[in-house]
Chains A and B, each alone.
Chain A
Amino acid sequence: MSAKTASGIERIAAAFAASDRRAALMPYLMGGFPTLERSVEIGGAYVGAGVELIELGVPYSDPLADGPVIHAAGTQALAHGATLAGVLEVARTLSVSVPVVLMCYANMVLAPGAEAFVERLARTGACGLIVPDLPVGEAPEVLEACDAHGLALVPLVAPTTTPERLALIGRQARGFLYTVSVVGTTGEREALADRFAEVVARAKASTAVPVALGFGIGTPEQARMAADAGADGVIVGTRLVRAASEAPEDPAGAVSAVLEGLAAALENPPAR
């Protein structure tokens, strides 16, 4: 496969297909945190760990879907001068090695207009877009623009999503279906894996694309249970952002250690 000619959607599909883990490892990176340079280093550590896909967050003033750790990281990134242009450069750098999906709040996507935003994103080589406050059905021009540029507009489903909406979202999903494991914002939580199987099964029945489980997954044990539940991918965000913030001298080393534990938990065949 050539990353240069494949569309973003195709490149994401190929990454899932080529994964030899029980579930793809999909870490979240806060662009510009703690600084733009450091976030490139952290992303480099993700690439070095052999992750299948990176979800790259754009820091935002009012992140309604995020818990305190990612909110604070975004605030710090903005205080250190992070801009959309800077984060898109991070996307460009990382996209050479791994599929990148940008996570960006709706106001920033719609500020220049959906088409202009998506066109600019496509030029970085990124593969897709997640807009956590843009539910399916709102601003259809974002999906149109993504489709036109071959980028995956990845929708979210939640445990509260009704069967009717789930069917609609599953049909509109591109790239993968971001399945929120808990009712809540992003952040680490204890013992919630008992509902993974139900949440994943419901999502898988609704869609033809891979199902990635996220929100609240931070430990190797939780990652293993997500794979046990049948998830095609595991998204880990807050745990990694916290690791980076707790090791200001060597954030790349800190996230590498966390990723090593997560990768071991997703080995195929399972290392029990």
Chain B
Amino acid sequence: MSTGPSSPALEHRFGQYGGQYVPETLMPALQELEREWLKARADEAYWAELRGLLRDFSGRPTPLYRARRLSEQVGRPVYLKREDLNHTGSHKLNNALGQALLARRMGKTRIIAETGAGQHGVATATVCALLGIECVVYMGVEDMRRQRPNVQRMELLGATMCPVEAGAMTLKEATSAAIRDWVTNVQGTHYVIGSVVGPAPYPALVRDLQRVIGDEARAQMLEREGRLPARVVACVGGGSNAMGIFTAFLDEQQVELVGVEAGGEGIETRRHGAPLTVGGRPGILHGSRSAVMQDEQGQIVEAHSVSAGLDYPGAGPQHAFLRDVGRARYEAVTDRQAIEAFKVLARLEGIIPALETAHALAWVLAEPAGELDLVCLSGRGDKDLAEVLGGDGA
């Protein structure tokens, strides 16, 4: 089991990426958050409580599963790290639990979150119910339509839903709305950001809380196979499940790291969510500098993906850094490939993955070469049935 990271400081920047591009109003809150996280991270009592909740409430450690029929199909062993078996159905609970405990230490009485697919919103609403903290979730109206079951779950859990109607009414606008709420209510509110994005210290904080995925998987893989995986594959929207599983392998140069972005209708159509794959000039979105989809003037452009959780024009700054230094590579698969993989995994393994996760699986299915793959099965796909099978309840 993870005992938490040991490095002494928090990164503000990853090479040229990261930083704190926020209204001055938020700067003291970010400084407080960093101070408190450094204290909590060094406090065994904090970890003891978090570990207890991860075990007894969330069900960790999650299994490492050798996907037999999938392995036969691709001609190499494929292991799935089963984050879908977390309580609430995705890796998002790891971060939400850790940040909510931190919020309580800071004396915050209100928690806000953004959500795309609804998995982070559900995780945050769940933790707020557990700890008795007020919860407000911002979600784009388009995402509320296509992820209806998660909206119902959040409401049942007692969260206040704030529908966001600006722009394309998806994750980018939900995140902007959550940041504006935080600017207005910063004194009593903690913003539980859901991915390794946002101003420092969030990318490092969320990574620290998600690295339990990779720490567990690494130990499980060594126990099962007696060796490290040759390759680690995860989907990337903001990139928290990917950063969480990559972190345990960053120093093992022989382990290839692959992040799979949303190719949408195809990179060439520009209707995608793949800023790391496409490259181009870095930009600033939601408080940090990273790979960003933007026009030549610096206006942020809308992403597109069938998967609400990957429908985002940015990505975490550490991912952009890992790409630039050649430590990880990033590729995109299309909506169509992801939907196909969603169905293939259901039939081959009896596991219905989230549409986000299906992008990582689609990449594995399309990749002919390889020797031992570890895939982060970041979430389950019950929420996506209507969107994939049609008749989306509209």
Contact = CB atoms under 8 A, between A and B. Distances in A.
The interface residues of chain B, by DSSP majority, are classed as mixed
Contacts of A243: none
A160 B172 CA distance: 26
A65 interface: yes
B184 A135 contact: no
B11 to A, nearest CB: 15
Indicate the member of B29, B180, B284 with the most A CB atoms within 10 Å: B284
A185 B297 contact: no
Contacts of A199: none
A99 B121 CA distance: 46
B183 A61 contact: no
A71 B180 CA distance: 11
Nearest to A83: B297
Interface string A89-108: 00000000000000001111
Contact of A161 (B28, B172, B180): B28
Interface string A8-49: 000000000000000000000000000000000000000000
A75 interface: yes
Contact of A160 (B25, B294, B296): B25
Interface of A: 60-62, 64-67, 71, 75, 78, 83-84, 105-112, 132-136, 138-139, 155-162, 165, 169, 180, 183-185
A222 B287 CA distance: 32
B298 A138 contact: no
A118 B176 CA distance: 27
A62 B176 contact: yes
B19 interface: yes
Contact of B299 (A60, A136, A180): A60
Contacts of A156: 23-24
A111 B281 contact: yes
A108 B300 CA distance: 10
Interface in B165-210: 166-167, 172, 176, 179-180, 183-187
B23 A71 contact: no
Max chain A C-beta neighbours (<10 A), residue from B23, B285, B289: B23
14 contacts: A64-B180, A64-B286, A64-B287, A66-B180, A71-B166, A111-B281, A112-B298, A133-B284, A134-B21, A160-B26, A160-B27, A162-B28, A184-B183, A185-B184
Interface pairs A-B: 10 shortest CB-CB: A111-B298, A108-B298, A158-B25, A184-B184, A107-B284, A65-B23, A61-B299, A61-B300, A107-B298, A156-B24
Given A111-B298, A185-B180, A180 B24 contact: yes
A155 B294 contact: no
Given A161-B27, A184-B25, A64 B176 contact: yes
A2 to B, nearest CB: 33
A132 B21 CA distance: 9
Residue from the set B24, B25, B167, B185 with the largest chain A CB neighbour count within 10 Å: B24
B388 interface: no
B283 interface: yes
Nearest to A184: B184
B20 interface: yes
B22 interface: yes
A183 B183 contact: yes
Nearest to A156: B24
A138 B19 contact: yes
Contacts of A61: 167, 299-301
A162 B297 CA distance: 34
A158 B24 contact: yes
A217 to B, nearest CB: 16
Contacts of A183: 25, 183-187
Contacts of B185: 183
In the complex, which of the residues B22, B27, B167 has the most CB atoms of chain A within 10 Å of its own CB atom?
A: B27
Given A107-B285, A183-B184, A62 B21 contact: no
Contacts of B22: 64, 133, 135
B297 A62 contact: no
A64 B284 contact: no
A135 B24 contact: yes
Nearest to B27: A135
Nearest to A60: B299
Contact of A108 (B176, B183, B281, B299): B299
Given A134-B21, A135-B20, A157-B24, A107 B283 contact: yes
A159 B183 CA distance: 11
Contacts of A184: 25, 183-184
B183 A84 contact: no
Contacts of A162: 28, 31
A158 B299 CA distance: 26
Given A64-B183, A75-B166, A184-B184, A133 B299 contact: no
Interface string B27-54: 1110100000000000000000000000
A160 B21 contact: no
Contact of A165 (B19, B28, B172, B296): B28
A60 B297 CA distance: 10
A110 B283 CA distance: 8
B285 A65 contact: no
Contacts of B292: 107
B75 to A, nearest CB: 45
